[in-house]
Amino acid sequence: MTLSIIDAIKKLKPDYDKEKADLMSNELMIAYAGYYRKYHTIKEHISPGLNLLKEIKDLCENYPLVQFAWWYHDFYMVPGTPHNENVSADRAAFDGLNLDFNSGLIIKIFSLIFATKHEKKNIVVHDDEIIHDLDLYLLGDSPKQYERRQTLIRAEYDLFPIETYNKQRIFILDKFLQYKNMFCTEYFQGRFEQQARKNIKAEINILKSELEQC
């Protein structure tokens, strides 16, 4: 069962406006059901992340706030657009302000969502590390599940020529391999790092092979 955004709102704002929160929840459902989404959906991405986050909630400094940010981090997702996280953060902040979240929470929401850009310079506090790693942990899934999800991601970018997609995908994946640790926290490093590197290397080899045939 997927944890609703309402679960996070209740903890962050016990006296929240139910009507506003229900409207936000409905709009999130609509956003993640976009016709072009194959991987960045509630079923494939949001829900698995929420389930793992619940398992490791004691590692978070502010678990419900990470929950809230996780729900919004891919609210806006247009393939090939460089500002997805910025627009998603703006929407999360707007909805947070509409719920009367204080300025401190709003600033932290921006920080959390910017951490999912996967640029180490955007990681400021511990919960930024948590959500950064959470967004990547499926890279360390079983080879079969990894391959299935990469097929879904490719389907999201089906408007792009295979040569364009493969080159950009290789560039992104290779950046992860360049880090001494692609995951920030010891928990994720210990549980997912080794398999993630194997999966990524295998995908890069496939992508390069496809490019040779173009």
Residue with tokens 């678990």: 63
Q: Quick one: CA torsion of 86, 66, 147, 155, rounded to 10 degrees?
A: -40
pLDDT, one tens digit per residue, over 123-156 is 889 999 999 999 999 999 999 999 999 999 999 9
**Which of 53, 60, 125, 69 lies closest to 101 in space, CA to CA?**
69
Q: What is the pLDDT along the chain (214 residues), one digit of tens a residue?
A: 567 899 999 999 999 999 999 999 999 999 999 999 999 999 999 999 999 999 999 999 999 999 999 999 999 999 888 899 999 999 999 999 999 999 999 999 999 999 999 887 778 899 999 999 999 999 999 999 999 999 999 999 999 999 999 999 999 999 999 999 999 999 999 999 999 999 999 999 999 999 998 7
Q: Considering the entire predicted model, what is its pTM?
A: 0.95
Residue with tokens 């290779």: 174
Contacts by 33-36 with C-beta closer than 8 Å and gap 24+?
A: 34/77, 36/79, 36/156
CA–CA gap between residue 149 and residue 160 (Å, rounded): 18
CA–CA gap between residue 112 and residue 132 (Å, rounded): 8
C-alpha 184, offset from chain centre: 15
pLDDT, one tens digit per residue, over 73-102 is 999 999 888 899 999 999 999 999 999 999
**Which of 199, 44, 60, 206 lies closest to 127 in space, CA to CA?**
60
